[in-house]
């Protein structure tokens, strides 16, 4: 008997909780819009070594270390492929060579 009386209340709380969590998710798409520069530039034309180094070279020594590459999943995945001399750093030359092979026409 008591359960029946509480059921509408419980449903009301459940719906309120669902609505609240739906509202919590709204800021996610909005935050994508607040950072269009980084995501947008990656899709506009081929990436350049200069762009990648400017974006990932946090200690500004002109090369991308493995730690710095970890900030980009794509770079981290390809680090060993790009680092052709295996010195643990990605230079502009290595990145340029890698992008050249990536964007070779496939027709």
Q: Which residues contact Ca ion by CB under 5 A?
A: 57, 59, 61, 83, 85, 87, 89
Whichever of 52 and 83 has its CB closer to Ca ion, that residue is 83
Burial class (CB in 10 A: 0-12, 13-18, 19+), 77: exposed
**Cβ closest to Ca ion, residue 42 vs residue 57:** 57
Q: Closest distance between Ca ion and the C-beta of residue 69, in Å?
A: 9
Q: Are 67 and 15 in contact (CB under 8 A)?
A: no
Residue 88 Cβ vs Ca ion, minimum distance, rounded to whole Å: 7
Closest CA to 82 of 68, 96, 69, 94: 94
Q: From the CB of 106, what's the least distance to Ca ion, in Å?
A: 27
């Amino acid at each position: 008997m008591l359960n029946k009386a509480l059921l509408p209340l419980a449903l009301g709380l459940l719906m309120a909780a669902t609505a609240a969590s739906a509202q919590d998710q709204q800021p996610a798409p909005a935050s994508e819009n607040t950072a269009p520069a980084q995501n947008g530039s990656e899709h506009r034309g081929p990436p350049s070594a200069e762009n990648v180094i400017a974006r990932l070279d946090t200690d500004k020594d002109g090369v991308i270390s493995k730690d710095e590459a970890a900030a980009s999943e794509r770079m981290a995945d390809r680090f060993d492929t790009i680092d052709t001399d295996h010195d643990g750093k990605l230079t502009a030359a290595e990145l340029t060579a890698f992008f050249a092979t990536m964007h070779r026409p496939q027709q």
